[in-house]
Amino acid sequence: MAEMSRDELESALQKYVGQEIGKPWVAKDPVNVAMIRHFCAAVGDTNPVYLDAAAGERSVHGALVAPPTMMDAWTMPGMGAAWVHSEGEPQDRQVELHRLLSENGYTGVVATNQEQEYERYLRPGDRLTAHIVFDAISEQKATPLGIGYFITTKYTFLDQNQERVGSMSFRVLKYKPAQQTQPVAEDGKPAAPSKPRRIRPPMGHDNAWWWNAVKEGELRIQRCASCGTLRHPPRPMCSVCRSVEWDSIVSSGKGTLHSHTVLHHPKFPGFDYPVICALVDLEEGTRIVSNIIDCTPEELKIDMPLTLTFEKVDDEMILPLFRPAK
């Protein structure tokens, strides 16, 4: 299919604004104690008004309530239900809109913002419905990922009495992955393309020292100068004694695999996929997020011993990565 001109595409996009994306999402289950308990366990929330019926009764709520941040979880249809099964159904305009952009080269998608507003606490037995509308589609924007359009959807959550309990604004960027321009050698022929650069990590006053040490081939761990507690990533204050005095030690580079996830999509420039993203327990007692190299996803085992290695991942950036220990 031929790509549309930018004007044609943008006028097609604007027709979606104000429309419902499709049928409202009706919660498959009412708000319930079991899911609240799982959610609290997953995020480490121990507030008794979410977990203990007696504590809920004694509280200002007069009963056990759900964490407000679970609001959108109650109506989520699941990955398959939202995207795959609705493929081809004309009433799902979200699928249609994303397909239109993909066909015009905007194949990448990344979620960028989520804001929620709550009108009341939810209680077990509440049954939610989400009405979802395309709230805004931006003009074409240039971003580090490539040019693209920000799509904002507005969710309005109603309870079983059709009363509003909250709302959510959810924004994604649908983008055309940035192309590497082909370098030209002195003889005018195309030279070998250089490897795309990775997105730069945020670097500032509180962590520049750590990255400078990485450049020198050292993995440093910040240490509280008052109580000796180690901490990572770098930050200004000790969470144990609140001292702002600190120094650092050099890690031995020995660690074990605490947890991991394997990234396949979306594909960002500068990475070799699949990417193994790992949480590594360093033997000094702190944890670090890194990638594991020289290892297939099938070879990963929780608690496997890992060794630090410094790798030049593009023309200038050096990262502390890990590989299985021999």
| Full strand arrangement of the beta sheet holding 305-312 | 287-291, 275-282, 254-263, 305-312, 318-324
CB of 259 to Zn ion, least distance (A): 26
Q: Which is nearer to Zn ion, 104 or 222 (CB)?
A: 222
Supply angle C-alpha 288, 229, 245, rounded to 5: 105
CA dihedral 248, 253, 255, 259 (to 10 degrees): 80
Phi (first) and psi of residue 38, to 5 degrees: -65, -45
**Using CB under 5 A, which of the segments 71-79, 99-107, 129-137, 216-224 binds Zn ion?**
216-224
Establish if 241 lies at the interface with Zn ion (CB under 5 A): yes
93-103 vs 6-14: helix axis angle to the nearest 10?
Answer: 170
**Using CB under 5 A, which of the segments 100-108, 202-210, 243-251, 294-302 binds Zn ion?**
243-251
Q: Which is nearer to Zn ion, 142 or 240 (CB)?
A: 240
CB of 258 to Zn ion, least distance (A): 23
Q: Which is nearer to Zn ion, 69 or 243 (CB)?
A: 243
Q: Which of 195, 36, 44, 41 is nearest to 126 (CA)?
A: 36
Q: Which of 128, 134, 138 is nearest to 160 (CA)?
A: 128
Q: Which is nearer to Zn ion, 238 or 257 (CB)?
A: 238
Site string for Zn ion, 218-237 (x = CB under 5 A): ------x-xx-x--------
Q: Which is nearer to Zn ion, 203 or 225 (CB)?
A: 225
- Choose which of 145, 173, 238, 282 interacts with Zn ion (CB under 5 A): 238
Cβ–Cβ under 8 Å, residues 291 and 277: yes
3-state secondary structure of 57: helix
Structure tokens at 296: 């297939």
Cα 27 to Cα 21: distance, rounded to the nearest angstrom: 17
CB of 36 to Zn ion, least distance (A): 35
Phi (first) and psi of residue 6, to 5 degrees: -60, -40
Q: Which is nearer to Zn ion, 245 or 299 (CB)?
A: 245
CB of 298 to Zn ion, least distance (A): 41
Q: Which is nearer to Zn ion, 241 or 325 (CB)?
A: 241
**DSSP structure class, residue 172:** E
- Choose which of 26, 240, 250, 325 interacts with Zn ion (CB under 5 A): 240
- Cite the beta strand spans of 18-140 per DSSP E: 25-26, 108-118, 129-137
Number of amino acids touching Zn ion (CB under 5 A): 8
Give 248's contacts (C-beta < 8 A, 6+ positions apart): 209, 210, 213, 220, 221, 222, 223
CB of 163 to Zn ion, least distance (A): 49
- Choose which of 5, 47, 180, 243 interacts with Zn ion (CB under 5 A): 243
3-state secondary structure of 213: helix
CB of 223 to Zn ion, least distance (A): 9
CB of 247 to Zn ion, least distance (A): 12
CB of 246 to Zn ion, least distance (A): 8
* Positions that interact with Zn ion (CB under 5 A): 224, 226-227, 229, 238, 240-241, 243
